[in-house]
Amino acid sequence: MTDSDRKPPESSPHPPKPRPPQRDDDDLPRPSPWGPILLIGVVLTLLLFVNWRPFNSSGPEVDYNFFWKQLDADNIAELTFTGPLVNGKWKKVPEVPASQKKLSETFSLRLPDPARDDQKLADLLRERDVKVKAEDSAPALFGQMMTGTLLLLGMLAIFFFVMRRSIDPAGTAFIGSFGRAGAKRFKQTDQRTTFADVAAMEQAKLELTEIVDFLKSPDKFHKLGAQIPKGVLLMGSPGTGKTLLARATAGEAGVPFFSMNGSEFIQMFVGVGASRVRDLFQQAKENSPCIIFIDEIDAVGRVRGAGLGGGHDEREQTLNQILSEMDGFQATESVIVLAATNRPDVLDPALLRPGRFDRHITIDRPTKEGRLQILKVHVRKVPLAKDVDLADVAASTIGFSGAELKNLVNEAALHAVRSDRSEVTAEDFDVSHDRVLMGAKREEILTEHERSMTAYHEAGHALISWHLPDVDPVHKVTIIPRGRALGVTQLLPEEDRYHYGERRMHSQMAMIMGGRAAEKLIFDEYSAGAEDDLKKATSLARRMVAHWGMSELIGPVAFRQGEEHPFLGKEIHEAREFSEETAHTIDQEVQRFLNDAANKASKLLTEHRDQLDAISKALLKNESIDHADMVKLLGEPVPRTSRSVSA
Ligand code: ADP
Ligand code: ZN
Ligand code: MG
């Protein structure tokens, strides 16, 4: 198993996504496109000139049969062969019917292929005593050479441009740089998003309503001397709709929206970011009332003086510029600065102090009701079959963010398209749910032994969670290889659980150990497939001992080991604050916790060996079983403790 208890990481680092490079014409030199175009033009003209040299048609072209007749009548004075082309001179200009074009003294002719080395033609020419000359077709050859050269030059030109563009970080498309030197850098978005597009998040919307009111009629506030917070920080995990909410705030107030990503400030050259900040605020002030939105502000707003790699000079300058711009607002200027981040913990305290981003809005993952609302927003354009119950979907997607729900709907629609249906059915949602949660199916042929080992492994997880009342109930068990896993036991976590007790964690560890214990019990060996399980269990045990004071031997102390965000540089300077001895004790306690959990798991499985066999048999037969199937096999599970919703 790999994923038995899906808990989306709360503060997983969310690196700023790479954005398409921002246009920035005035800061960096840009290659002129005119040079190569001129060059290509010249070469083309030359080439045409070469091809048009009148080496071929010295007179009107005549038909091959007509030429034969004239040759028969001994009316040809002279012929010059140039490849398949022949130029000639009549002895006497032949008469043609009035309807046709008059012929002149010379003529040209194109020899059809079979006539090229026609012996009869040669004989007749000799017989009639025609003067025959031959010219080689060098000009044509020259033309070919020119074409080759042209191609080569063209390729060189393209290569040259690609090179230039990759050196210039703010480069734009080759053609795109025409006449756009004065292009707007911070575009106002055209399509209006309003609060109606944002489902749920009532609390956040409520807090932003005041801002909207202010932007709509700033004078009302100014008159009373009321101060509106200049800076609002939206905090929440990725995909919870921060960007969406910021855009909707601007749309709701009907004011311009200047948006920039934090990472766009960071450039190769020190000072570019600061100058962009200056520019952004300048533009905003000219367009007030308006909203400035700095997305993923943690990219610039990290604690100053920290950070490992280079580049923090630029970041500090940029951040300082933002701070001083925010301080420099006049009381009459109605510019609101919104910022979003999923790492509020790393922000520089100076950013958060009063007068700057002092209003904080936390955006949580949606509740069941919220998920239903969000789903409703995203199925607006999706034709649903009658058997789809969105409330059901919402209930089974605990922990999903808005973005994940959107993805779920989209995957379901895609599956419906793939199966050639005109409506999205409940089955599509089911497939999509599995795919989003556990990754795409892998087409893999496993040996009988591998399958059976996987089945027992997953059955082990499932059975232990069946018998331990503190862990979440089993939702589904599969041995269909997906993502990185050969099999998955999926538990149904409880809605909005804030309290995690010690007992629950011990049970959790035992459940995680269940897969491995089953392998040992049945096959008398461990497999490498349990690596993920072990990692998870170990990390849980370590936190219990060192952070949450759950070991009697260690006692109520939190030992920070700076393990959490080593890449921040902030914690890396924090020396370990405990002795070697304590470290040793911690390790021993962690080991004891893990051993206890493993023993508990083995014991439970040995006791219920028949049930273990039954589950794995069902798995091998059906590949996938759910809660109801398990109830049929084993009867009702042990009643859950402290569970507010029944599963
Ligand atoms: P964040 O900026 O917090 O990472 P986004 O604002 O980019 O997340 O959200 C990603 C997408 O998820 C949005 O474009 C939207 O389609 C969807 N989404 C997130 N939250 C909601 C919501 N409350 N209502 C409707 N759609 C949402
Ligand atoms: Zn496992
Ligand atoms: Mg965002």
**According to DSSP H, which parts of 30-75 are helical?**
34-52, 64-72
Asked if 438 and 488 count as a contact pair (C-beta separation under 8 A), the reply is yes
What is the Cα–Cα distance from 127 to 137, expressed in whole angstroms? 27
Structure tokens at 410: 């989209």
The residue nearest atom 6 of ligand 1, judged by CA position, is 241
The amino acid occupying position 555 is G
Q: Which of 314, 458, 519, 589 is catalytic?
A: 458
Asked if 95 and 88 count as a contact pair (C-beta separation under 8 A), the reply is no
Domain layout of the chain by residue ranges: 3-26+179-363, 32-52+141-171, 64-134, 368-438, 448-634
Q: Which residues of the chain have pLDDT under 70?
A: 1-37, 43-58, 114-117, 136-141, 162-191, 267-270, 303-312, 331-332, 494-499, 560-576, 642-647
**Nearest CA to 278 among 265, 291, 293, 296?**
265
Pick the CATH number of 3-26+179-363 from 3.40.50.300, 1.10.3720.10, 3.30.420.40, 3.40.50.2300: 3.40.50.300
Q: What is the pLDDT of residues 45-92, one digit of tens each?
A: 666 655 554 445 567 888 888 888 888 888 888 888 877 778 888 888
What is the Cα–Cα distance from 511 to 458, expressed in whole angstroms? 10
pLDDT at 141: 65
Rounded (10°) angle between helices 609-622 and 627-634 = 140
Q: Which of 203, 242, 244 to mutate to test the pocket of ligand 1 (most atoms within 8 A of CB)?
A: 244
pLDDT at 54: 47
CA 340 to ligand 3 center in whole angstroms: 7
CA 12 to ligand 3 center in whole angstroms: 14
Helix (H, G, I), strand (E, B) or coil at 236: strand
Ligand 1 — pocket residues by CB below 6 A? 198-201, 236, 238-244, 340, 374, 377, 402-403, 406
Question: Which residues of 315-378 form beta strands (DSSP E)?
Answer: 335-341, 359-363
Rounded (10°) angle between helices 609-622 and 448-467 = 130
| Nearest ligand, measured from the Cα of 262 | 3
| Nearest ligand, measured from the Cα of 4 | 2
pLDDT at 463: 94
The residue nearest atom 18 of ligand 1, judged by CA position, is 402
pTM for this prediction: 0.63
The residue nearest atom 11 of ligand 1, judged by CA position, is 403
The residue nearest atom 27 of ligand 1, judged by CA position, is 402
Rounded (10°) angle between helices 531-546 and 502-523 = 150
Q: Residue 237 contacts by C-beta under 8 Å, 6 or more apart in sequence?
A: 8, 10, 11, 12, 14, 342, 365, 401
CATH architecture of 448-634: Up-down Bundle (1.20)
CA 596 to chain centre: 42
Is the previous residue joined to 289 through a cis bond, with omega within 30 degrees of 0? yes
What is the Cα–Cα distance from 230 to 327, expressed in whole angstroms? 9
CATH fold of 368-438: Helicase, Ruva Protein; domain 3 (1.10.8)
pLDDT at 637: 85
What pairs with residue 307 in β-bridges? none
Which CATH number is 64-134 given? 3.30.720.210
Indicate if 458 belongs to the active site. Answer: yes
Q: Which of 372, 406, 407, 436 to mutate to test the pocket of ligand 1 (most atoms within 8 A of CB)?
A: 406
